[in-house]
């Protein structure tokens, strides 16, 4: 099994619908992240969480919300999806004991299309 699992792998949804992307990890890491990848823009940070009670906005949080249900689970919600939220979404984890200096561990991504 993958260390960081994202579901669904692909999703097509309609404008205005609420959608949740889920992420779970078996790395035992305490820090979790949501990134968005767009062509020509690279990966940009949406939200991050350093522990269950700590949620922080990233570079592009507008239109998104997150929930850290447990140390191993971090979900991303789009309350009312719009077409420009069509993108590839990545969940990542890191360990506070090393401060992420060895890089983050990424899931396989969720490709979201909003029509």
Partner 1 sequence: AQTVTQSQPEMSVQEAETVTLSCTYDTSESDYYLFWYKQPPSRQMILVIRQEAYKQQNATENRFSVNFQKAAKSFSLKISDSQLGDAAMYFCAHKTGANNLFFGTGTRLTVIP
**By CB under 8 A, which span of 14-22, 63-71, 72-80, 91-99 interacts with partner 1?**
91-99
**By CB under 8 A, which span of 19-27, 64-72, 76-84, 95-103 interacts with partner 1?**
95-103
Query: Pattern of binders to partner 1 over 46-85, x per CB under 8 A?
Result: --x---------x---------------------------
With respect to partner 1, which residue has the nearer C-beta, 53 or 103? 103
What number of other Cβ atoms are within 10 A of residue 109's Cβ?
17
Q: 57-81: b or e for each residue (b if 16 or more CB lie within 10 Å)?
A: ebeebeebebebeebbebbbebeeb
What token pair was written down for 88? 């590839």
**By CB under 8 A, which span of 17-25, 60-68, 77-85, 101-109 interacts with partner 1?**
101-109
Give the Cα separation of 18 and 98 in Å (integer).
36
> Which helix (H) or strand (E) covers residue 88, if one does?
strand 87-94
Interface residue list for partner 1 (CB under 8 A): 33, 35, 40-45, 48, 58, 88, 90, 92, 94, 99-104, 106, 108-109, 111
């Amino acid at each position: 099994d993958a260390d960081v699992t994202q579901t669904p792998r692909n999703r097509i949804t309609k404008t205005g619908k609420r959608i949740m992307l889920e992420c779970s990890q078996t790395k035992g890491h305490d820090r979790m992240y949501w990134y968005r990848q767009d062509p020509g823009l690279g990966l940009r940070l949406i939200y991050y969480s350093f522990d269950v009670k700590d949620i922080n906005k990233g570079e592009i949080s507008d239109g998104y919300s997150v929930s850290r249900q447990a140390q191993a689970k971090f979900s991303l919600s789009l309350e009312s999806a719009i077409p420009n939220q069509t993108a590839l979404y990545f969940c990542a984890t890191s360990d506070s004991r090393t401060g992420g200096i060895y890089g983050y561990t990424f899931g396989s991504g969720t490709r979201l299309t909003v029509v």
